[in-house]
Each structure stands twice: as structure tokens, then as C-alpha cells.
Amino acid sequence: MKNAVYFCNPNVWNDVYRGSVSEEVGRRVEIPATVLTRENWRQHPGLLREAEIIVSSWGGPIVDEEFLAAAPEFKLYLYGGGSIKGLMSDAAWERNVRITSAAEANAVSTAEFTLSQIIFSLKRGWEYIRLAKENSPVLWRNKPVSGMYGSNVGIVALGQVGRKVCELLNSFDAEVLACSIDVSPEMEKELNVTFVSMEEIFKTCDVVSIHLPSNGETRGMIGKELLSLMKPKSTLINTSRGAVVNQPELIDFLEERPDVYACIDVTDPEPPDPDCPLLTLPNVILTPHLAGTMGRECPRLGRYMVHELDRYLAGRPLKGEVVRERADTLA
């Protein structure tokens, strides 16, 4: 059996690999019970020296030259989390260390959360919660809600989460419009979407859901020029990264357009400053980065890593492998 080692935050290990998941890992590789962390790994040189596989999650190792020197047999990084940003160095890529992520599994939770926001927003649920608390007489008169039937839902970017949201929306009677860097007639048919420009999405959709990765090209991409196109009583949802939205321009827009709601799960910075208007604007629903995998959803990530381990041991392609050329384009 090949040698492996656990390396992540101990609390995360308990969430991701506890119980039957760790038992399955133990049946496939030689792996000690000690969980290495960014604080203690230098105290266990023997464990790293023999390890070919690192079984990890949030709080996993940053694979720089020092780490590589301590782990001469290291070949596979099983990252039971989402984004791998900041984990791999040039030295790691050059030594041909392979890394695979559970981003596909993590996308399930984010997509489900996003779907819940889309459905509730199309019923103007957040607005009517506010009106109910205010005991507004408007609550019991005209209620201009649309619901899912016949609505236009816009998906900005088709990474792991964006694609999964499109798949979930196929169960509903809504027109799904999408924009992405990579488009093709085959993808359009597979996801049952219509590809349009980003401007068209903001102009025509009742809900616009952002799924952009955060990088130099996307930072601040969603600003007032696009936001100003939004339909009356539409909703913006962001479960990707706070930095892809120009936050000051978003705040100005929402102050000027109280009819538009924003469901914001990510901010820049995170958490927001105590005096940030996103905390108090009545047309903002702010959640503390809830969309991703949490609690009892976490073992899904560990089980994904078990399946990846099986593929590696059998010499098959890894489903979630991230290659150097794509690392900078992912969330």
C-alpha cells in the first residue's frame, strides 16, 4: 500500500473525513492517525518523508520549496475543498505534483443555496418579509410578484457552480440565459440555456446570478454600467467572490434603486467593515458566506476524495484534477 498523510485543520478533518470516510481511506493507503497542520508539520518530518499522497481539505499545505524538500516522495495532493488558490507554487508544478479538488462536490451546496435564493427572489419574498415586519398595508393589496413560471434567469459564468445551477433550473418553467468565456452549441444544448451577452442578461433577466472566478480580469467586473441595466424589481445574487463586484458602485446603485434587491453571500473585504451600508440597506440580503459546503454536507467532499484516490491507484484520469494552465482561471 502507498503511504499517505492527513494534512488540514483538525476541526475540518473531523467534518470532512470523520467516520466511514476515514475508514475507507484507511483501507486504501497506509495513513497514520496524526493530522498534520500548517503549524505542526515541521515537528513530524518522518510522516512527510514517506508520504506519496496528502489527504487534505481547508488548511491544507502550501506546497512551496521548503515543503517539497520535506516531502521528497510527494506526488498527489487530494484537496477535499473548493478553490486551490494559493496552495501550489511554481516549484510544485515544476516537480509535477498533481492536485485534485472537490470543487465539483462543493459546487452542489453552492448551487442548491443559489437555487433557493432564485426561487424566493422571484416571489419577491425578501421584500414581503420586510413589509410584513413593518405591518405595511401594501402587504395585503397589490403584490406584483412573478414566480418562476415564465421568468428569465441569468447565469453569469459557467464554472462548476454555474453549470450546476443551470442543471437544477431545468426542473422549472423558466428561460435560462447564460454568458461564459467558453461557449458552444453543444454546451447550450446540454445545459438547456441560451447564450447571450452579459449586457443582455442584466437588461432582460428577473434574477441575475453571479458565478465568476476572482482574478485580475474579473475584479470589479460587475459595476454600475451593468447594474444600471437591471429590470425594475429584479434581483442580483452573488455567491462567487466579493471582489468580482465593484462594491462601492453596487452600494450607490442599490441606494438609487430600492426596487432592486441584492442577495450577497460574499463581500470584499470579508466580513464587511462595520459601517458598510450593505449591513443596513433594506434591499440587501447579506449572508455570511453560507453558500458553500458546511456541517453535514462536508463528508461529501471527503467521499469525493476517496473516489479520486481510487482513480489514482488504478491509474485512471482524475475527475477533479487541476492543471497548471487552468489554475489561475478558477475561482
| pLDDT level of residue 328 (50, 70, 90 thresholds) | low
Residues 6+ away with beta carbon under 8 Å from 106 = 81, 82, 160, 292, 293, 301
> Above 70 in pLDDT, residue 246?
yes
Spatial strand order in the sheet of 35-36: 35-36, 4-7, 53-56, 76-79, 98-101, 321-322
CATH of 107-286, one of 3.20.10.10, 3.20.20.450, 3.40.50.720, 2.130.10.30: 3.40.50.720
Domains 4-101+298-327 and 107-286 share a fold: yes
What is the per-residue pLDDT across 111-138, written as a single tens digit (0 to 9) for each? 999 999 999 999 999 988 888 888 877 6
Mean pLDDT over 251-256 rounds to 98
Single pTM value for the model: 0.90
* Spans of all domains in the chain: 4-101+298-327, 107-286
CATH of 4-101+298-327, one of 3.40.50.720, 3.30.420.40, 3.30.930.10, 3.20.20.70: 3.40.50.720
What is the per-residue pLDDT across 58-91, written as a single tens digit (0 to 9) for each? 999 999 999 999 999 999 999 999 989 899 999 9
> Above 70 in pLDDT, residue 139?
no
pLDDT value of residue 99: 98
